[in-house]
Amino acid sequence: MTVLLTGAAGFIGMHVAELLLSRGDEVVGIDDLNAYYDVGLKRARLARLESRRGFRFLAADVANREAMLALAGLEPGTTRIVHLAAQPGVRHSLVDPYAYVQANVMGHLVVLELARRLPRLEHLVYASSSSVYGGNRELPFAETDRVDHPVSLYAATKRSGELISESYAHLFGLPQTGLRFFTVYGPWGRPDMAPWMFADAILAGRAITLYDAGRLKRDFTFVEDIAAGVVGCLDHPAPASTPRLLNIGNHRSVEVRRFVTVLEAALGRPAIVVDAPRPATDVPETFADIDAIRTICGYEPRTPIEVGIPRFAEWFLSWRKGG
């Protein structure tokens, strides 16, 4: 099976690619290696993949119509697409809103246009986000909840992608599954995410900021559980004209201050904590209802933070030392 994977040099993308390659799939990785965060980290992930049999890399921006649509002729045997490329980061959308519309809306549209030109395509799985739930107060978040009040531009662009996908399923019969990721962490994570920023500050003796005294709660999900869920969903195509939206999380809501306590123990150092009010872009709690993905794909997260955080810390210390 040939899988086209966008965002292959990204955090989740690398783990999904490794899982696909381990079972013998051919993976065509797409990434533009942009400078939103350390390109060296992206290249290191990519080097891991390029050492594996069955992986090919093409440098391209998913919003580049000419480059992406050319893949219909270059890779006509593609049977599945995993579309993970995006402009991430909720708070950065206040700084550069145009990047979010370009990558998350235009990029999503271009991937759909590519998908409908691939004659053997069986399934497209794409990344949405739990941020689409906005300020919803009913927990856990379920796929049937209303999602028409986003609290960030990032969330609005991810919801836009879901709606565009629904129209393409109706118009062109594209079998699609959108996955609403909850807070993902683990080895090879991103420098702009809380686990990395917390670990870096703790080791350097700098203060970390916890909003509302760390009482915000997140459904922290280990990246290997996420990768297994992505591949599991890829193997269970949605009906052609009935697109699916599924939560993919840990089904455990943990206070951020508890996350920090476990991280302190894993690093062997205490954190210096500063309290601050919750920003308008942050919600008080996220918590995934995963009944649907469990039923459809057999998804079952297995990694509590007491296991996942030490694994992240071990990798982070190694990366900090240069490899």
Mean pLDDT of 198-208: 97
DSSP 252-276: --EEHHHHHHHHHHHHTSPPEEEEE
pLDDT digits (tens, 9 = 90+) for 164-186: 999 999 999 999 999 999 999 99
185 has catalytic annotation? no
Position 191 scores a pLDDT of 96
Domain 2-182+223-249+288-302: CATH class, spelled out: alpha beta
> Residue 123 CA to chain centroid, in angstroms?
18
The Cβ of residue 103 has, within 10 Å, a number of other Cβ atoms equal to 22
Which of 154, 168, 185, 299 is flagged as catalytic? 154
pLDDT (0 to 100) of residue 90:
86
Banded model confidence at residue 323, pLDDT cuts 50, 70, 90: low
Per-residue pLDDT band for 322 (boundaries 50, 70, 90) equals confident
Smallest CA-to-CA distance from 14 within 108, 102, 82, 67 is with 82
Residue 248 CA to residue 12 CA, distance in Å, equals 13
Strand ranges (DSSP E) for the chain?
2-6, 26-31, 55-59, 80-83, 123-129, 176-181, 184-185, 207-211, 217-218, 221-222, 244-248, 254-255, 272-276
| DSSP codes joined into one string, 82-93 | EE------TGGG
What per-residue confidence (pLDDT) applies to 91? 84
Confidence at residue 94, expressed as pLDDT on a 0 to 100 scale:
87
How many whole angstroms separate alpha carbon 172 and alpha carbon 170? 6
Mean per-residue pLDDT, 182-199: 97
Q: What is the pLDDT of residues 228-285, one digit of tens each?
A: 999 999 999 999 989 999 999 999 999 999 999 999 999 999 999 999 999 877 888 9
Structure-model confidence comparison of residues 228 and 323, the more confident one? 228
- pLDDT computed for residue 276 by the predictor: 93
Q: Please give the share of the chain, as a percent, with pLDDT higher than 70.
A: 100
Average pLDDT value for the chain: 96
Q: Which amino acid is at 155?
A: A
253 and 219 Cβ atoms separated by less than 8 Å: yes
